[in-house]
């Protein structure tokens, strides 16, 4: 079988994948040079981000393709949504790399950390564009399995517990997803996510039920990775066990990868309709509700962010419970806004943790008065939280929620719309509780003269105007996935 390979669209996947191997080779030749590892990784991620520009500038009905058969079928397709998610994943990974670089771990572990980070990023950029079942499944697992090492690399008991939870979940989710993929192949007779073969399977009364079950299994498998209820159990332990920068990776790059994987099968879900759509709507509402309720009860910062990510995952998949043509764009736009806000939060937390120790950011009480003693850090943290809450002055967060509610309103799913609106109001209370703590009086309000590491300081200085721009002109991010 002749396959035509076009290299330019593949660069966002190839660059981080090759660099992950290169870092291992460098360590074999010149051991324990952690600075070199991070410099190489940062340069590679910057180059990979730049390589997404040609795909971003193409029109929607003319996607970039590669791995194409002579008859025109392509196994790798980068449309505007895929290109935007690739850029978001690569930029998020670059920020995480810069956050992690100053944090000291055993030199023998740094090469594992950097190589695993790059591998996760390669999987995240690949899965959003893969259109054949084997590559899609492999890329999805590549974006997941190395995170186990990233959680465990701290080598503390909480890290080991979190890694074991993540390992168990990953094995279960892989088994469920693989079963769904096998049933997809049995129902469609095709090893690709091809719309024509899907439509044939839908029209055939004998294969339609099998395709519906396949979709449910695939959604369940991806739901583990996206932290959707009831597949979310690993999330609090994983977030609490990982280092703060690696928690940022779990909250951003891994979520982008999971959504990208889900979007590949989003259109068949809409075509099948019925029980599949209802199940996705129920999962979205349960995720929003449980995430909000548990976040309201949580006093550990990282666990709070874990439950927040469960709630936000519900918002991300909410539009996919409709058959609207804008559902995919709405979900992608929301996850991009979510990633930017979450990175702002973790930049602030990492800077404080590196200054004062991890215990300075793991409890709400420890952050009391942070906005008074470190105003710039407090503003960045608060802007990120308000964006997630969808509360002015964070207009970007408001418009992101409007975007995901629009398809629901268009189809007049009033019950789903009301439940989402109720959760939006609960979410305001969830995040305002933390914002109030940051700027409240009490605690240590004296700046003890501790200064952020230069890399963290650069990210702090850049983070506030970046979030301000995102909230004043959110269309700049919406354009990435439109």
Contact 340, 446 (CB under 8 A): no
On the question of pLDDT at 154 being above 70, the answer is no
Residue 424 has pLDDT above 80, yes or no: yes
In this structure, is residue 425 part of a structural domain?
Answer: yes
Whether 108 shows a pLDDT value over 80: the answer reads no
Residue 142 lies in a domain: no
- Of the listed ranges 123-132, 147-156, 393-402, the least confidently predicted one is 147-156
**Number of domains composing the chain:** 1
What's the confidence (pLDDT) of residue 442?
A: 60
Q: What is the pLDDT of residues 403-422, one digit of tens each?
A: 888 888 887 888 888 998 89
| Alpha carbon distances (Å) from 381 to 292, 313, 362, 443, 464 | 19, 20, 14, 18, 9
Structure pTM?
Answer: 0.91
Residue 402 pLDDT exceeds 60? yes
H/E stretch holding 74 reads strand 74-78
Residue 381: inside a domain, yes or no? yes
Q: Give the pLDDT band of residue 446 (cuts 50, 70, 90).
A: very low
Residue 321 inside a domain? The answer is yes
User: Has residue 93 got a pLDDT over 90?
Assistant: yes
Which tokens belong to 462? 């850049």
Average pLDDT over residues 357-370: 78
Average pLDDT, stretch 134-150? 88
Classify residue 240: in a domain, yes or no.
Answer: no
427: domain range? 273-482
Yes or no: say if 241 and 193 are a contact pair by the CB < 8 Å rule.
no
Q: What is the pLDDT of residue 34?
A: 79
pLDDT at 359 over 50: yes
**185 part of a folded domain:** no
User: Would 444 be classed as within a structural domain?
Assistant: yes
| Residue 376 domain flag | yes
Helix axes 244-251, 234-241, angle to 10 degrees: 140
Cβ atoms 480, 87 nearer than 8 A: yes
């Amino acid at each position: 079988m002749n396959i035509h390979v076009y290299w330019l669209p593949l660069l966002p996947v190839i660059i981080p994948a090759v660099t992950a191997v290169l870092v291992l080779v460098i360590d074999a030749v010149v051991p324990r040079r952690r600075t070199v590892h991070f410099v190489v990784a940062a340069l590679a991620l910057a180059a990979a981000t730049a390589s997404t520009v040609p795909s971003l500038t193409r029109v929607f009905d003319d996607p970039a393709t590669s791995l194409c058969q002579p008859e025109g079928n392509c196994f790798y397709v980068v449309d505007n949504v895929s290109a935007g998610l690739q850029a978001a994943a690569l930029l998020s990974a670059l920020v995480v790399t810069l956050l992690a670089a100053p944090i000291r771990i055993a030199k023998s572990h740094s090469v594992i950390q950097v190589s695993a980070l790059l591998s996760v990023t390669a999987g995240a950029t690949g899965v959003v564009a893969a259109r054949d079942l084997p590559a899609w499944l492999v890329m999805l697992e590549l974006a997941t399995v190395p995170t186990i090492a990233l959680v465990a690399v701290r080598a503390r008991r909480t890290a080991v517990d979190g890694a074991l939870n993540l390992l168990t979940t990953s094995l279960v989710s892989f088994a469920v997803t693989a079963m769904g993929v096998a049933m997809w192949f049995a129902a469609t007779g095709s090893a690709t996510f091809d719309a024509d073969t899907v439509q044939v399977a839908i029209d055939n009364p004998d294969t339609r039920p099998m395709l519906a079950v396949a979709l449910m299994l695939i959604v369940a498998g991806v739901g583990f990775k996206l932290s959707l209820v009831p597949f979310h159990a690993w999330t609090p332990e994983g977030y609490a066990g990982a280092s703060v920068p690696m928690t940022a990776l779990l909250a951003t790059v891994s979520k982008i990868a999971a959504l990208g994987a889900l979007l590949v099968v989003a259109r068949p879900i809409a075509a099948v309709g019925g029980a599949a759509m209802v199940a996705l709507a129920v999962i979205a509402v349960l995720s929003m509700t449980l995430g909000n309720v548990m976040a309201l009860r949580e006093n550990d910062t990282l666990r709070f962010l874990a439950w927040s990510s469960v709630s936000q995952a519900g918002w991300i998949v909410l539009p996919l419970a409709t058959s609207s043509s804008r559902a995919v764009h709405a979900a992608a736009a929301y996850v991009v806004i979510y990633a930017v806000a979450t990175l702002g939060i973790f930049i602030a937390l990492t800077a404080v943790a590196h200054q004062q120790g991890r215990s300075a950011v793991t409890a709400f009480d420890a952050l009391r008065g942070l906005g008074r003693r470190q105003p710039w850090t407090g503003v960045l943290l608060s802007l990120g939280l308000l964006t997630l809450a969808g509360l002015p002055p964070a207009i970007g967060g408001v418009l992101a929620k409007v975007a995901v509610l629009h398809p629901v309103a268009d189809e007049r799913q009033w019950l789903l719309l009301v439940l989402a609106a109720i959760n939006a109001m609960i979410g305001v209370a969830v995040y305002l509780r933390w914002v109030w703590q940051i700027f409240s009086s009490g605690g240590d309000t004296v700046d003890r003269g501790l200064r952020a590491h230069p890399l963290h300081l650069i990210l702090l200085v850049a983070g506030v105007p970046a979030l301000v721009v995102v909230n004043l002109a959110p269309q700049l991010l919406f354009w990435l996935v439109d």
